[in-house]
Structure 1
Amino acid sequence: MHKALDQFTRKFEPELIDEINQLGQLKKYKTGKVLIDFGSYVKNIPLVLSGAIKVVREDAEGRELFLYFLGGGDTCAMSLTCCINQKKSEIKAVVEEDAGVMMIPLHYMDGWMKYSSWRQFVFSSYNQRFEEMLNAVDSLAFMKLDERLMNYLLDCKQSSGDFSIHKTHQQIAQDLNTSRVVVSRLLKKLVEEERIELHRNRIEIL
């Protein structure tokens, strides 16, 4: 994990790298671990070194909707917002694939804004997450469900770097806020269009 940290911090000033090494906590999390939950106060900012983390939103009826993935080199702009405003989290961050994360206590955030590389990193993270959230809104408003499903599978591929998606139909349905039956039907349609292959416990993107 230290190698991943070195790659992550290469963009930062040496003084900031020293502070991250001294003040942050290196953590390893298994798939399924909830790092940030709905309604909780965020006390640490996650800097993702390896693996993948899924960020979801919850509607008024308690249904979850997939927003975006965080991979190596990313942080969660929404958790930054919650920290800065000292408000309860409106998202849930769940480890999608075993992840290495550097947890940074909230009270160091303001002081690090003196570093130009940190300011650029934070603003870039806000911009990237904002674009991904706009894409999520656009997909809900303008895309048919089969297009949303294909985009979701491509997001999974990009976050993991693997053309094989190891998810059940039920897991996909939950992320897309639909039913397992609908997902299964649409996956079969994508097979007919030769865009994917279905195998036992995995989906292969062509």
Structure 2
Amino acid sequence: MNVLASMARLTDLYPSLAQVQPAPVTPESGLQPFEVPTNTVLFSENTPCQGFPLVLHGEIKVSRNSGDGRSLELYRVVPGELCLVSSACLFRAQPLTAFGITTKASTLLLIKPDVFTRWLETPAFRNDVLGLFAERMADLTSLIDAVAFQRLDRRLAAALLGRGQQLNVTHQTLADELGTVREMVTRLLRRFEREGWVSLGREQIQIVNGAALRTLVSTQPA
């Protein structure tokens, strides 16, 4: 994607950027689109924030690591959305509290910290960033509820649904999404298989009885 096409797409995805100064299309903004492949680590926990990422194509998964090597997905950033962790880091001038990795080949722009600060002087862009905090807070509250209060078997059933009849996914990937360990996911999947709900293969899960999984998801915890 050339620079002009990228900047046109940028203002389509983020209309408030049409009002900021310096304008994204000017050399002063320092914005240049760059492409990264799948599974590229864009930022890491406890490191300084190098800038504010904007997604033109692709997707960024933002997660937290635990001391025992597990990770918990917090949210994903797709075109037209903003990264809460990056904005919080820039606001407070503190290290990043999560890591970001691309889940597919992506085209990105990186706003330098000083440009981000100047853009916040534009009410429309500032409102977008503050609105992001409200939306992401709601997402994180739902995540906390799921982790703290919902049974893991219900969460795993929900994670299996909506991906089609055949899932090409590893037990470790599911464990990472759910913030648990692979052994727990494997144990539950084998239980689901015994119940006749799924059929397990090598890095494959076949949904046999989606209705039973949906019933489990909708069951109120005791």
| TM-score normalised to structure 1 length | 0.79
CA distance in 2, matches of 1:7, 1:171: 33
Question: Match of 1:110?
Answer: 117
User: Alpha-carbon deviation of 1:143?
Assistant: 0.7
What is the aligned counterpart of 1:172 among 161, 174, 199? Answer: 174
Residue ranges of structure 2 left out of the alignment (5+ in a row) = 211-222
User: Alpha-carbon deviation of 1:42?
Assistant: 0.3
In terms of fraction of residues, the more strand-rich structure is: 1
Aligned residues: 198
User: Alpha-carbon deviation of 1:136?
Assistant: 1.4
Question: Match of 1:143?
Answer: 150
Question: Contact conserved, 1:31 with 1:99, CA < 8 A, in 2?
Answer: yes
Q: How does 1:1-206 map to 2 (within 5 A)?
A: 1=1, 2=6, 4-9=9-14, 11-12=15-16, 14-16=18-20, 19-22=23-26, 23=29, 24-152=31-159, 166-187=168-189, 189=192, 201=203
Residue ranges of structure 1 left out of the alignment (5+ in a row) = none
Change (3 A) 1:75 1:146: same
- Bigger Rg over Cα: 2
Which deviates more from structure 2 when the two are superposed, residues 20-29 or residues 74-83?
20-29
Question: Contact conserved, 1:4 with 1:50, CA < 8 A, in 2?
Answer: no
CA distance in 1, matches of 2:99, 2:57: 19
Change (3 A) 1:7 1:184: farther
CA deviation digits over 1:62-111, x for unaligned, max 9? 43222111112112111111112111111011111222211111111221
Question: Contact conserved, 1:167 with 1:202, CA < 8 A, in 2?
Answer: yes
Change (3 A) 1:186 1:48: farther
Question: Contact conserved, 2:42 with 2:101, CA < 8 A, in 1?
Answer: yes
CA distance in 1, matches of 2:37, 2:157: 26
Which deviates more from structure 2 when the two are superposed, residues 196-205 or residues 78-87?
196-205
Question: Contact conserved, 1:58 with 1:90, CA < 8 A, in 2?
Answer: no
Question: Contact conserved, 1:76 with 1:129, CA < 8 A, in 2?
Answer: no
The residue type equivalent to 2:106 in the other structure is A
Q: Find the residue that maps to 1:110 and give its secondary structure.
A: helix
Percentage of pairs with the same residue: 27
CA distance in 2, matches of 1:17, 1:165: 46
Q: Find the residue that maps to 1:16 and give its secondary structure.
A: coil
CA distance in 2, matches of 1:13, 1:19: 7
Change (3 A) 1:197 1:71: farther
